[in-house]
Amino acid sequence: MNKLEIEAVKQENVEISISDMDDGTIITITGDIDMEDPSSLLDPVFEKAHKGTLEKKMKSIILDLKKLAFLNSSGIKAIAKWVMKLSEVPEEERYSIRILHDKATTWQVTSLPTLTFLVPGAVKLD
């Protein structure tokens, strides 16, 4: 089990795994998310990651989307909702979110950069 005690998720076309790094957590999402309401899948993971990272005073989360072939607009909205939670955290207590993406995947190149503007300085795209 990882430091944040978040269980991995496996559904028909998607897998979410959580692993530890020195000063934070890596959330890896692989597969394809095209369900009507992906927030039911993503929100609990992001909520636990957010609360746990703050409680344990960790400094970063890596969100690895390199092997996520598709994420619909509702899924992007779920990520945006998570990012926006950082705006409620005092700046000195915030953690950073580094999003790893595949520059050859169109939806990632067109949709993910927007997330870097939601909470200035909190999200980096690699």
The CATH number given to whatever domain includes residue 120 is: 3.30.750.24
User: For the whole model, what pTM was predicted?
Assistant: 0.95
Residue 61 located in a structural domain: yes
* 3-state SS, residue 93: helix
pLDDT of residue 12: 83
pLDDT of residue 64: 98
- Which tokens is 28 given? 């890896």
Domain housing 48: 9-102+114-125
* Distance in angstroms (rounded) separating the CA atoms of residues 76 and 111: 8
Residue 37 located in a structural domain: yes
Q: Which residues of the chain have pLDDT under 50?
A: none
Sign of CA dihedral 64, 66, 71, 77: positive
Q: How many domains does the chain have?
A: 1
Residue 1 located in a structural domain: no
Helix axes 39-55, 73-85, angle to 10 degrees: 20
Residue 2 located in a structural domain: no
pLDDT of residue 72: 93
pLDDT of residue 23: 87
